């Protein structure tokens, strides 16, 4: 843990994205100030910054809480995510800079390294960073804030995707990593059509896994519970 204002900012982002801080969880300004060696003013400045980026909600007289993830937000998320991701992908092809492509490749290396090591939090965060960089490539001031808000919930909902429990999930994770490699190659080749097509394929994979998280199969009750014989 890094102390200071920058450390608080980065740690809160990470804790929210990895669901270590639950949606709607209230933050304690006093304890965070003591933990990070800060006065209340810089803590409030961090809160304001994170609220502006969509991570926190500041409600007068009710404190600061992690942004919610309810039925309405999830419905809106699933409704508009493909459209925004496709627009980001198209503009990334048109506007990317070589330095950004280098960052994308480096992020993908870290993603695959985390995949091999089964580092769940690192997988979620590196995937988030991969798509953030695509947003930076797009260089559109209207789309980037929308992408940032989408990625918060995408990371939170999809966190379970990076905890493979069976062979099918392992294959899905491998496919997601392969999609990243294809994104990089198509962007570098300025192949807009391939990027847009891949956006929808990649989204469908993500959507299926997020649906598994939101609506998992029910637990099976034991057919018969053996009760000890009474002694009379």
For 168-209, write each residue's pLDDT tens digit. Answer: 778 888 999 999 999 999 999 999 999 999 999 999 888 877
Same domain membership, residue 140 and residue 79: yes
Banded model confidence at residue 18, pLDDT cuts 50, 70, 90:
very high
**DSSP assignment, residue 31?**
H
**DSSP assignment, residue 55?**
S
Same domain membership, residue 53 and residue 148: no
In a domain, residue 222? The reply is no
Question: Do 128 and 162 touch, CB atoms closer than 8 A?
Answer: no
- Once rounded to an integer, what is the mean pLDDT over residues 122-137? 96
- Once rounded to an integer, what is the mean pLDDT over residues 51-67? 91
List the one residue out of 86, 135, 129 whose CA is nearest residue 105.
129
Same domain membership, residue 91 and residue 198: yes
**DSSP assignment, residue 225?**
P
Q: Rounded CA gap, 203 and 24, in Å? A: 26
3-state secondary structure at position 173? helix
Which helix (H) or strand (E) segment holds residue 222: the answer is none
Domain range holding 26?
4-66
Same domain membership, residue 16 and residue 57: yes
The count of domains in the chain is 2
Same domain membership, residue 61 and residue 47: yes
Q: What is the CATH number of the domain that holds 109?
A: 1.20.120.530
Instruction: Answer yes or no: is pLDDT of 165 > 90.
Output: no
Q: What is the pTM of this model?
A: 0.85
Instruction: Answer yes or no: is pLDDT of 228 > 70.
Output: no
Same domain membership, residue 80 and residue 46: no
Same domain membership, residue 178 and residue 203: yes
Residue 202 has what pLDDT?
92
Residue 53 has what pLDDT?
95
- Domain end, chosen from 33, 66, 99, is at 66
In a domain, residue 46? The reply is yes
């Amino acid at each position: 843990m890094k102390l200071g204002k920058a450390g608080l900012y980065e740690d809160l982002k990470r804790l929210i994205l990895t669901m270590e801080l639950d949606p709607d969880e209230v933050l304690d300004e006093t304890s965070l100030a003591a933990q990070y060696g800060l006065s209340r003013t810089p803590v409030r400045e961090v809160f304001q910054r994170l609220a502006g980026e969509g991570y926190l909600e500041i409600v007068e007289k009710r404190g600061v809480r992690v942004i919610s993830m309810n039925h309405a937000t999830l419905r809106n998320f699933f409704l508009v995510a493909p459209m925004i991701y496709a627009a980001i992908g198209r503009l990334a092809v048109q506007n990317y800079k070589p330095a950004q492509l280098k960052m994308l490749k480096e992020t993908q290396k870290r993603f695959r390294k985390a995949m091999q090591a089964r580092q769940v939090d690192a997988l979620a965060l590196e995937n988030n960073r991969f798509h953030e960089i695509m947003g930076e490539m797009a260089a559109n001031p209207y789309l980037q804030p929308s992408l940032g808000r989408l990625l918060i919930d995408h990371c939170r909902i999809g966190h379970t995707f990076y905890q493979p429990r069976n062979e099918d999930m392992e294959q899905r994770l491998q496919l997601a990593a392969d999609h990243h490699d294809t994104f990089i190659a198509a962007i570098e080749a300025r192949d807009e059509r391939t990027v847009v097509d891949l956006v929808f394929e990649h989204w469908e994979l993500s959507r299926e896994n997020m649906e598994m998280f939101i609506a998992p199969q029910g637990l099976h009750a034991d057919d018969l519970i053996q009760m000890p014989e009474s002694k009379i």
